[in-house]
Structure 1
Amino acid sequence: MKRGFWFVLAGIVVVIALAVALIATLGGGSGPRGYVAGHYHRASSLDIRGDSDNKAYTSPKPVPVVAREITSRWRPQSQQTDASGVYLRYSDDAVIIQPRAAGSVIHVMDVDRAYRHYHSHVGHAWGGFGMRGETFRGGGPGTGK
């Protein structure tokens, strides 16, 4: 009786592990980083130099279409759009979609690095991320100093 129990338990564990692996594979990995990696073409020549966490991808589709594809699957915490592109902020990552001659280039990077790199586009909306000199301290003259 004990031996049969362990075979049944092992079978259940194997089925659960296979289900998790299948979901991860079909879902394009974990989070927006995995989704982008699974759905767009890797373009390492477009990676931002000096940022080993940055990965660039391309799509033949225009910026608004790519942004809709990503946001329909992974809802961002913040989304900014201007003439230079669409900036999506997630808890750990940022996805930046910008126009390219034949479609779009998509950069996926750490959200803090993205904030520093694209501050002029997102600084007013994304906040200071705890960086010195960029957090709100105010309340009036002499307050919070």
Structure 2
Amino acid sequence: MSRFGTRVRLAPMLLLVLAATACGGGVRDYIADTYALQNTAGDAKTYTSKDPVGTTVSSIVAEEPPAARKADGGSEYLRYDDDIVTVSAAPGGGSLVRVEDIDGRYRSGGFAYLGPGFHPGSPAGGAGGSGGSGSAK
């Protein structure tokens, strides 16, 4: 077989590999593909889920494990390298999923009350990726 024939046969496989590796868009893309967009405010987006908080959080965490996770007051907070995801109960059932850039309230200490892993400058694995005693299951 000629070199040209080999290249032609390998080209589709190469494209498939490149497409597969380029699609790993992280938690923000997973949420956008899975839940219905409710609104956008700056870099923060709020989505709706028909599932309760615990089920919604479990789905997100199964797809993309967070660096830190904490439950507080009926809401779940998931910290990723570039985003904070807050899942809370929606009025009338289901849940709201808010995704915001980590440079916003996080960098100014807005989530410091959640403890290790949520305080600016905390180590990435500060909460060990697990929730406290209030984690939704």
Asked if these proteins are the same fold (TM beyond 0.5), I'd say: yes
Any residues of structure 2 matched to 1:1-145 within 5 Å, and which?
4-21=2-19, 29-44=24-39, 47=40, 49=41, 51=42, 53-101=43-91, 102-115=93-106, 116=108, 118-119=110-111, 121-122=113-114, 124-125=115-116, 126-129=118-121
State how far apart, in whole Å, the 1-side matches of 2:55 and 2:101 are.
23
Report the structure number with the largest CA radius of gyration.
1
Q: 1:103/1:117 Cα in 2 relative to 1: closer, same or farther (>3 Å)?
A: farther
Mark the CA change 1:7 to 1:109 in structure 2 (over 3 Å): closer, same or farther.
Answer: farther
Q: Which has the higher contact order (CA 8 A, sep 6+)?
A: 2
CA-atom RMSD, angstroms?
A: 2.5
- 8 Å contact kept, 1:41–1:58: yes
Check conservation: 1:82, 1:121, Cα contact below 8 A: no
Q: Which residue of 2 aligns with 1:134?
A: none
- More helix by percentage: 1
Measure how far apart 1:117 and its partner are: 7.7
Q: In the aligned structure 1, how far is the partner of 2:51 from the partner of 2:113?
A: 22
Aligned 8 A contact 2:109 2:119 in 1 = no
Structure 1 distance, partners of 2:5, 2:99, is 44
Q: TM-score, normalised by structure 2?
A: 0.72
Q: Percent identity?
A: 28
- Alpha carbons of 1:121 and 1:9: their partners in 2 closer, same or farther (altered >3 Å)? farther
Q: Which segments of structure 1 move beyond 4 Å, counting only runs of 4 or more?
A: 22-25
Structure 2: give runs of 5+ residues left out of the alignment: 123-137
Contact between 2:88 and 2:96, CA under 8 Å: does it hold in 1? yes
Q: 1:22 to 1:9 in 2, by over 3 A?
A: same
